[in-house]
Structure formats: C-alpha cells, structure tokens
Amino acid sequence: MADLSINFAGIRAPNPFWLASAPPTNSGAQIHRAFEYGWGGAVWKTIGAPVLNISNRYGGLTLGGQRLQAINNVELISDRPLEVNLREIAEVKRLWPDRAVIVSAMVDADPQAWKDIVMMIEDTGADGIELNYGCPQGMSERGMGAAVGQVPEMCELNTHWVTSVTRLPVIVKLTPNITRITDPAHAALAGGAHALSLINTINSIMKVDLDTLQITPSIGGRGTHGGYAGPAVKPIALNMLSELVTDPQVIRSGVPISGMGGIQTWRDAAEFLLLGAGSLQVCTAVMHYGYRLIDDLTDGLSRWMDDHGFQTIADVTGRAVSQVSTFGQLDLGYQAVARINPDKCIQCNLCYAACNDTAHQCIDLVAPDGVRVNPGFDPRASGKEVALGRPTPQVRESDCVGCALCANVCPVDGCIEMVSVPSGRPHVTWDELTAQRPAVTQTWPAMETYREETGIEIH
C-alpha cells in the first residue's frame, strides 16, 4: 500500500490532504472532528485583525443540475476572539501531535503587528504559519490580503518581517488576482518564505437574480465582489501551479508548493501532485460534502498510486511537469483527427452542430443508406421510430484539423476519440520556424508559400 505521508518544508503529516484556511477550520472542535475522520492537516482560519462579518455571505453556482460547482464568499477572516483561537490551536496540537497544524495570519502591514501575532502563534506549538496575501474581499480594502499579494514590494517586505522573527516554517499564500503569479512568488522568496501556496480565491460577482434584479448574495439589498472557489477554478489553479514549478527562480529556491483550488476528488488531487504540489488543501468540497470526503481522497489516491507503482507522494510530485511547454515549443507537424465509434454513438448529433456551426465543417450526417443528409436536417428530432432512421455523424478526416471540439461536446465517454495520424508535414516548432525562416512568421505571402510547400491546406 502506498505511503501517503509527507514532509512539507519540515512540516510532517500522515497524508497530503490539509483543510484550507476557511470555515471548515474555524474552531478547535471542527478541526478535532476533521482529524478524527483522517485529515492529515489543517490550516487554521485566518487570525489577526479584528473584523465583523456580514449575513448571507455565500453565493453558489449550479451547472447542469449540479450544485456548488463554484462558491462565491464575502466572508472575512476569523471573527472569534484572538485569545480563544490561540488557546484552541494549542489544544488541538497537543491532542494531535502527528497532524500538521498551520496557522493562517493576516494583520496590518506593520513590523510590530506581525511580530506580535507571530510570537503568539509560536507559543501555541503550531507547526507553521501561512501568510494570507490572497483574500480579495473586505480585508483588501483595509490594505491586507490581496492588497499585499498584488504588490510584490509589499509581499517581500511583509514576508521579511515574519521570517526575521520566527523559527517556524513560513508559507506565503498567493493571490490569483494578478497578471503574473511569478512576481509575488519571487517577492515571497526574496522575503525568506520557506514555501508557497496557491491559489486563493478569485475576485468575482456570482450572479444577478433576474426576478428581484438583485446581486446574489444580497446583503440588505446590496451586493459586492467576493472570492470565487470550487471545482470551476481548478484549471486556473493548475495553470498557475505550472507557472511556478517551471519558473527558474522558483526551481532554484527548491521551496515546496501547497496546491489548492477546486480539489474535490482524488483524481483532482493526483493532477495537482503530478504538476508539482507537495501538499494539497481542500475547502469548497468539504463545505459541500463534509469531512467524510477524506475517505474517498485517501483511498482513491492510494489505489491509483498502487496501480501505477508509486510508493510515496514524492514519487508522484512533479511527474508531469516536463510536459509543460509554451506555444512556441509545440510541434506544428503533429496531427490528430476525430474518430467516432458508431457502436457508442447515440445520434444526438451535437458533434455535427458544433463542428458545422462553430468549427471546421468536417462532420457529415449520413443516412442509413449511405446518402449524405441535407445540412438543414433537424438534429432535435426524437422518438423511437425517427431514431431508427436517424443519420449518423461521420468525420471527413482529410478536412479535420483535430480541434477536438466534437470530442468535448459529445455526451458519451469514449464515443469520439482524438487519434494521432501522420501529417506529412515537417516536425518543427513555431520558435524553430521563426529562427529558420523569419519571413514565414511575419508576412502572409511568405506564410502562404510555406503552406504550399508543406501541403498545409486551410479550408
């Protein structure tokens, strides 16, 4: 059985799954219960400056009948008394010495304020400190949270104020609300950070109610921007993680990265690990399903690791990073085409509609007698008698550019596959082509000449 234990910047845990700093880690009683379920660690809900929270603070995104595919929150940091939080942190760590207990902190951009909170955290026996430079709502208007994370100079300065006065590992939590995630990462490293974590929530307004015409969530008839999280943000989180793990300065530093943003299943977790995360933080999925989720996460990840021969988390971490590339390094000679499995096709013809209306018009509807159907055929027709005679979509591979839109809209798993085929074109990248024949990448006449030479036909 795979060993799921980790050592993250000197912080040990029996598995890589930590509860992220959020409502699930609001109190000692909650974290105690989470550890009983089997969570490997918890990042305490951010403590620090005094706050007052509002009511009706969450908005949810429902897609295709699936609730909470994303959540928007306008909640602030912990509104519980500082001394209560500190006492409970110490108690939880005493009762659970084998679990990772990290304290998230946020105070005014002042060296003494940071020193005061850090000394209090150290006295609890916590394993580490996470600096919250990510919250985009409420606290940022007061010069904290994302207001620090979006300004590299402030990020470096605040981090230095902490690392210069503590013996604990310091994790800097980065905001995604920025153009280049590497800028605050470099600043955090310059300030002495021992690890990085990302992503925090994305600035957002969830929706407007079309009946009441009010922004949701509505707080007494008003609404505001909040932090967006949940399964819908995972691709953004994976991209930002990939930017860090391929950045030369981050690579040289050797600091580990705690990944979060949309982790709901063990498959999500494995993707974050493969792209370089050394620990994993979960929030929205727990708010949806409860602490019991840990059983599926650990069991699924362990079985997957066994199936692939991975013995430790370190064996998995970063295994997919070498594939991360820029567009200029991709093979322009690679060719894939769509192939439809007629045995799996349910003749919904969504692939035809998508290709014909929005892609490259390379899918035909062919009647049972082999005759191509008039493009005006209505794919919405239904009923058993009609279905028996419905045309079947067929790909003209010679015209298929391999965009994969059809495979993505198809509702049947494995019905449409993208298959690699010989292209007959030179295997060259855009960067290589630019270096070898710069005119080709700069003028249309030269590009058209190159296409004729290499047999590239755009229809």
| Residues annotated catalytic, as ranges | 135
Q: What is the DSSP string of 24-92?
A: GGSSHHHHHHHHHHT-SEEEEEEEES-----SS-EEEEEETTEEEEEEEE---S--S-HHHHHHHHHHH
d(CA 355, CA 371): 19
Q: In degrees rounded to 5, what are phi and psi of residue 167?
A: -95, -5
Q: Which helix H or strand E contains 5, and what residues bound it?
A: none
Q: Does the N-terminal peptide bond of residue 342 adopt cis geometry, omega within 30 degrees of 0? A: no
* Burial readout 377-403 (b: 16 or more C-beta within 10 A, e: otherwise): eebeeeeeeeeeebbbbbbeeeebebb
Give CA separation, 270 vs 7, 240, 288, 317, 427, in Å: 17, 16, 20, 9, 32
Q: How many CB atoms lie within 10 A of CB 192?
A: 16
Helix, strand or coil, per DSSP, at residue 164: coil
Pairing of strands 392-395, 363-366: antiparallel
Tell me phi and psi for residue 67, to 5 degrees.
Answer: -80, 155
Q: What are phi and psi of 300, to 5 degrees?
A: -65, -45
Amino acid identity of residue 210, one-letter, is: L
C-alpha dist (Å) from residue 9 to 78, 99, 100, 155, 258: 25, 14, 11, 20, 10
Counting other chains too, the contacts that 183-186 makes at CB distance below 8 Å and 24 or more residues apart are 183/152, 184/133, 184/149, 184/150, 184/152, 184/155, 185/244, 185/247, 185/249, 185/250, 186/152, 186/249, 186/250
Evaluate whether 81 touches 129 at the Cβ level (below 8 Å): no
